A and B are shown apart, each in its own frame.
Chain A
Amino acid sequence: MLLPFFKWMEGLAVYGPSIYLGPAVNIVHLSAMVTFLGALLIVDLRLLGAGLTQQSTATVARDAQPWLLGGLIILTLTGIPAVMATATLQYSNSVFWVKMYLLAIAVIYTFTVRRKVAFAAEGRFGSGTMKAVGLLSIVMWLMVAAFARLIMMIPANTFEFLVG
Chain B
Amino acid sequence: MEVNLPGGAYIRESTFGFSILLTIHVVSMCWFLGLVLMMDLRLVGIANLRTKASEVSPRLLPWQIVGFIVMAISGVLLFWAQPLRYFGKTFFWIKMGLMILAGINAGVIHLITHRSEAAWDSRAAKFAGAASIVLWVAILALGRLVAYDWMTTEYLVE
Interface of A with B (CB < 8 Å)?
Answer: 23, 26-27, 30-31, 33-42, 45, 50-55, 59-60, 62-64, 66-67, 142, 145-146, 149-150, 153-154
Contacts and interface: CB of A to CB of B under 8 A. Distances in A.
A146 B23 contact: yes
A53 to B, nearest CB: 7
A150 B23 contact: yes
Interface residues of B, number: 33
A66 B49 CA distance: 12
B16 A53 contact: no
B63 interface: yes
Contacts of A31: 137, 140-141
Given A27-B144, A60-B48, A146-B26, 18 more contacts: A23-B144, A30-B26, A30-B140, A39-B34, A39-B38, A41-B31, A41-B35, A41-B63, A42-B60, A45-B63, A53-B59, A55-B51, A63-B47, A67-B38, A142-B30, A149-B27, A150-B19, A153-B19
Contacts of B137: 31
A54 B27 contact: no
Interface in B8-58: 15-16, 19, 22-23, 26-27, 29-31, 33-38, 41, 47-51, 55-56
B131 interface: no
B141 A154 contact: no
A51 B51 CA distance: 11
Interface of B: 15-16, 19, 22-23, 26-27, 29-31, 33-38, 41, 47-51, 55-56, 59-60, 63, 137, 140-141, 144-145, 148
Contacts of B30: 30, 33-34, 37, 142, 145
B144 A30 contact: yes
26 contacts: A23-B148, A27-B141, A30-B26, A38-B34, A38-B35, A38-B36, A38-B37, A41-B31, A41-B34, A41-B63, A51-B60, A52-B60, A54-B51, A55-B50, A55-B51, A63-B47, A63-B51, A142-B27, A142-B30, A145-B26, A145-B30, A146-B23, A146-B27, A149-B27, A153-B22, A154-B15
